[in-house]
Structure 1
Amino acid sequence: MTPHAAPLHDHVFLGENHARNERRTWLVIALTATMMVAEITAGTIYGSMALLADGWHMSTHASALLITALAYRFARKHARNPRFTFGTGKLGDLAAFGSASVLAIVALLIGWESLVRLRSPVPISFDEAIFVAVIGLVLNLVSAWLLKDDHSHHHGLAHRHAHDHDHGHDHDHDHDQGAAATRAGNRDNNLRAAYLHVLADALTSVLAIAALLAGRSYGWVWLDPVIGIVGALVILSWSWGLLRDSGSVLMDYLPDHEELPSEVRAAIESEHDEIVDLHVWQLGPGHHGVIIALKSTRPEPVAAYRARLGHIDELSHVTVEIHPA
């Protein structure tokens, strides 16, 4: 092969809706930034601290979403960069882990501010605060709708590439690229991070509206910070779930409910073939890699073992190593 010849296959392990999710994330950022400018401008002109506070809150919200959008862009631009050994499919999980950390910090800040206000209540302009909360809720519901993952899937393999290597040790290797998965591994944690950010904002808006209405009607000023603490705990729980799931992908950890290893064993092992070493990990949304080392008393061609795995669509990169017994 000449230095400039094309490789036998690429390692593009991006989610099937990568481009669509990137476009929608940028659209949500545009909506958020527009609302941010409008609230800060109106708050400055009319001297409204509620509008100003929510406007600056929107700026932190837009910054968090920017992590998601830039991760999509970088992963797409460098998808075929050979320096990324297994592609850039995991970049979304790295961004999701960072976003989840930001979400956890926001939850802690909300909780702390609520505790402070519970100890030292501050005057609330109920009508103005309700108006701002309703506007924020509408914007966040629209954003959540745009960012909701519809979990659509492809069935059947989009493409397959295979090549064998002879290393002089009676080993045969096969690399196989497939399409998107139809299980939990198909989840785009990067999109999920953006979705949870806007959902957290929507939750705080709903809770704030309820607390403000009760405060205005019954004088329950204490209810606003109490509900703030409840919202902080819920958001903290969401961020922990996202940290756990994205961190698992980054560490090549398969959850207990993942059945892919047992499916591979069931497909490959027979009276004459025994898997002696098996590694399965996620390469990106809907893409898994697998390395199989097997001992066989009747070794078959690599293509035969590859055919046994043909029904498992989420196997996007397969290496088979055969040791004649």
Structure 2
Amino acid sequence: MSLDSEIDALTHSHVYLGKRHDENARRTLWVVALTAVMMVGEIVAGIAFNSMALLADGFHMATHAGALGIAALAYRYAKRHATSGRYSFGTGKVGDLAGFASALVLGIVAIGIAWESAIRLVDPSPVEFGEATIIAIIGLGVNIASALLLGHGHDHGHDDHSGHAHHHDHGHEKDNNLRSAYLHVVADALTSVLAIAALLGGRYLGWVWLDPAMGVVGAIVIAVWSWSLMRDTGAVLLDATDTKLESEIRTLVEGPGDVKIADLHVWRVGPGAHAAIVSVVGASRATICERLRPVHEIEHLTVEIR
């Protein structure tokens, strides 16, 4: 084999997009459209019924529409630049970047809801219970439809048994961009459910305080979801070590007792895709690649022999 042929055999792409990337992008676009329509409907209804509650919820939904729009743009950007040489490890983490930004928006929404609810607890304002309840029910229907569209899809990869141990994930791929979109519509659904309960309680039991109280509860739950998403996406963006994968690699490489790992780096480069740099003493590159062949999460493996 000539040198050029050997180099060609070792050359590989750095496209680490999830298998359902295009499908998830289409789902997200549908949800953006549904959310935008509902947002306009709530704002128009709020003006028509002179209801501040509906206007507030309409503008609140606008922030979710913006965050969902970020998710949709992230899918498009990642696909468009997937083969660009500008990104050393591809665009697989664009979704995590969008997810982190979306989580920030979700956190701001939670703070806004909590602040407005606290003000209304201290200084209650009149609520158009009948009209607001109808719109809240319609909004809940839109949220449920959006959640069903986004779903809980799991991606599956395929094997690539090349000489450089370039594998695809057989397990579940966590798409944090889709997760962020899903959390936004679920957060909206939660606020709709709490709003309906509060509006019915206010209309039939006279519990005006229930509306802002439910607002505080909803804000706390949404804040927890926001923090969870920021924590997970932030770890990916900072190339945090996947400890389970690191442990698996150490066991496979050092298990027989004839090799020692001098240095090891494992990080995520896309949904279900990881890169690893393994520096070893006491073995050939071919031996290490063969031992790590079962680790299908590794998409990009670099082996250093010391």
TM-score, normalised by the number of residues in structure 2:
0.91
Residue 120 of structure 1 is matched in structure 2 by: 123
1:275 aligns with 2:278: no
Displacement of 1:61 after TM fit? 1.8
Residue 194 of structure 1 is matched in structure 2 by: 181
Displacement of 1:196 after TM fit? 0.6
SS in 1 for 2:178: helix
Which of 249, 272, 282 is the matching residue for 1:264?
249
Mapping for residues 102-117 of structure 1, pairs under 5 Å:
102-117=105-120
CA contact (8 A) 2:49 2:131 kept: no
Residue 81 of structure 2 is matched in structure 1 by: 78
1: CA distance between counterparts of 2:162 and 2:95? 25
One-letter code aligned to 1:179: H
Which of 145, 153, 159 is the matching residue for 1:150?
153
SS in 2 for 1:87: coil
CA contact (8 A) 2:63 2:109 kept: no
SS in 2 for 1:278: strand
Displacement of 1:38 after TM fit? 3.2
CA contact (8 A) 1:89 1:285 kept: yes
Residue 178 of structure 1 is matched in structure 2 by: 167
Displacement of 1:266 after TM fit? 1.4
Over residues 83-118 of structure 1, what are the superposed CA-to-partner deviations in whole Å (9 max), with x where a residue is unaligned?
A: 100111111111111100000000000000000001
1:319 aligns with 2:302: yes
2: CA distance between counterparts of 1:292 and 1:241? 30
What are the ranges of 5 or more consecutive residues in structure 1 without an aligned counterpart?
Answer: 163-174
Mapping for residues 205-224 of structure 1, pairs under 5 Å:
205-224=192-211
> What is the percentage of aligned positions where both structures have the same residue?
54
SS in 1 for 2:268: strand
2: CA distance between counterparts of 1:45 and 1:114? 23
Displacement of 1:254 after TM fit? 3.0
Q: In angstroms, what is the RMSD of aligned CA positions?
A: 2.0
2: CA distance between counterparts of 1:10 and 1:94? 22
Displacement of 1:32 after TM fit? 1.4
2: CA distance between counterparts of 1:218 and 1:46? 22
Mapping for residues 1-325 of structure 1, pairs under 5 Å:
8-45=11-48, 47-154=50-157, 156-157=158-159, 159-162=160-163, 175-180=164-169, 182=171, 186-254=173-241, 258-269=243-254, 270-296=256-282, 299-300=283-284, 302-323=285-306
Moved over 6 A (4+): none
One-letter code aligned to 1:107: A
Over residues 276-320 of structure 1, what are the superposed CA-to-partner deviations in whole Å (9 max), with x where a residue is unaligned?
A: 111111111100111111100xx33x3332121111111100011
The number of residue pairs the alignment matches comes to: 299
CA contact (8 A) 2:165 2:290 kept: no
Displacement of 1:274 after TM fit? 1.0
SS in 1 for 2:12: coil
SS in 2 for 1:288: strand
Q: Which of the pair is proportionally richer in helix?
A: 2
CA contact (8 A) 1:181 1:287 kept: no
One-letter code aligned to 1:121: P
Over residues 167-218 of structure 1, what are the superposed CA-to-partner deviations in whole Å (9 max), with x where a residue is unaligned?
A: xxxxxxxx442213515xx211111111111110000000111111111111
2: CA distance between counterparts of 1:206 and 1:308? 52
2: CA distance between counterparts of 1:6 and 1:46? 68
2: CA distance between counterparts of 1:292 and 1:277? 6
What are the ranges of 5 or more consecutive residues in structure 2 without an aligned counterpart?
Answer: none
2: CA distance between counterparts of 1:214 and 1:47? 21
Displacement of 1:8 after TM fit? 1.5
CA contact (8 A) 1:50 1:128 kept: no
Residue 171 of structure 1 is matched in structure 2 by: none
CA contact (8 A) 1:29 1:62 kept: yes
